[in-house]
Structure 1
Amino acid sequence: MSDPNHADAEIRSFRIDVPEADLDDLADRLARTRWAKELPSESRTSGGQGGLVPPG
């Protein structure tokens, strides 16, 4: 594993090839996501905190 603190560490650009159909499918799935309503409790024992997930 390389050391990220090493003097030769640098940010390099890269490309990925994702088929457009896969990106369209992802966008559709995200658009159809149903988020839970905010819970009345701020306690994490009953699930995630409402401010930490997008509004439904």
Structure 2
Amino acid sequence: MSTYKEIEHLHINTGGKELTQEQIEEAKAFIDSQGFKDMIREAKESRQRVKESKITDRTKM
């Protein structure tokens, strides 16, 4: 579960309902999944491309 050390904040929109233990375990499994890791990697790469682009000089981040 080394993934948790890299996550600063994670929000799960529950619509005001409490999660069951099964739903919590499902969320943990998703966080550990390759799909989630790929999403994080892609987001980091996209953010890096934006930071390196010329448009960043004209916009606030």
Length-normalised TM-score, structure 2:
0.33
Kindly name which structure, 1 or 2, has the bigger radius of gyration based on alpha carbons.
1
Length-normalised TM-score, structure 1:
0.35
Q: Of the two structures, which has the highest relative contact order with CA contacts closer than 8 Å and spacing of 6 or more?
A: 2
* Larger fraction in helix: 2
